[in-house]
Amino acid sequence: MKKKTMKHTKPKTTGVRGVNVKTAHRVNAPSSWSMSIYVYWFIILFFIAATFFILGRSQIATESHRGTEISEEVLMRANDYYNQGKNEILAGDLEAAIVDLTSAITADKNMVDAYILRGEAHMQAGDYRAALDDFNAALGLDAQNSVAYYDRSLLNTRLEDFDSAMTDINNALATYAANPNEILQLRDLYAKRGQLNLWQKNWEGAIADYTNSLARPEGIVSPSVYAERAEAYTAMGNYADAVNDYTSAIRVISEQIQGATTIEQKEDLSMRAMNYFEKSAALNLSLGNAASAKSDLESAYQIAISLNDSDTVAKYQKLLEELQ
């Protein structure tokens, strides 16, 4: 019996949906041409990204430069507002000054002088809380600012917080000694501390400060410094030196009257001189100098007549009669 010869047919290798696997491998395998395409697109994308990066850096640099210009412009605007506010304070327009100085601070929050000047405007306007906030803000930015300490001392004096006022004036003197400026003068700083010592009944301290103030060559001598030192001398029983100081205060006033430009200024100075003559007369009486006391009262009497102050004229007439 003849055996049947079986033909061994090589089975077809199929994948999904009858796709020839070998053929599929051949199709999916990247050729050298397709690889070059990938490299080409990679290079293109790289250069595009690099271009955007460079353009972005350039834009940032431009914006940064533009921001610097804006800052300079804002700074100039802040200075303009500051100068305008200063002029408005001098003109007595406190409300407008506060508005402009606030604009200066808004433009430059580190502008110490604007805080100080606005504080002065608030203080003149009677808004002591706002003034204190401004002086505190100025010292928060510059703890060595003698002007801010001096102004806060004036404010604390108005608030009758004499201990804080004394601390501030001491700080003003210390910082001024380290960093002098053209706004303050030692004459005024010592006079202010002398006044605080006088009010706190530190007579010796007051006399020392007033003496230091008068010894300074710069600035204008105030008759009040002589008169207030006279009060300290009087409190200590040193009547002779007190009389000499009242005489000096009257001499300064007579010089100031010559330069006064308004009737109000002349009247104010005349009233002060009249008051000093009266105090000097009382001290001379205590010293037994009746003739000097009479001379002082006569001078006060003549000033009262020139001021048309009838009540004071009558008072001095009675005192002069008692001295006859």
- In order, the DSSP letters of 171-236 are HHHHHHHHS--SS--HHHHHHHHHHHHHHTT-HHHHHHHHHHHHH--SSPPPHHHHHHHHHHHHHT
Domain assignment of residue 132, yes or no = no
pLDDT digits (tens, 9 = 90+) for 90-122: 999 999 999 999 999 999 999 999 999 999 999
In the block, residue with structure tokens 């706190």: 200
Domain assignment of residue 240, yes or no = yes
Q: Provide the domain count of the chain.
A: 1
Stretches where the chain sits below pLDDT 50 are 1-31, 33, 39, 52-70
Percent of the chain with pLDDT over 90: 73
Domain assignment of residue 230, yes or no = yes
**Interatomic CA distance for residues 9 and 258, integer angstroms:** 139
**Interatomic CA distance for residues 194 and 209, integer angstroms:** 5
Domain assignment of residue 256, yes or no = yes
Domain assignment of residue 140, yes or no = no
Domain assignment of residue 300, yes or no = yes
Domain that holds residue 236: 221-324
Domain CATH for 310: 1.25.40.10
Domain assignment of residue 96, yes or no = no
pLDDT at 30 (0 to 100): 47
Q: Contact, 221 vs 210, CB < 8 A? A: no
In the block, residue with structure tokens 């804006």: 70
Domain assignment of residue 187, yes or no = no
Percent of the chain with pLDDT over 70: 77
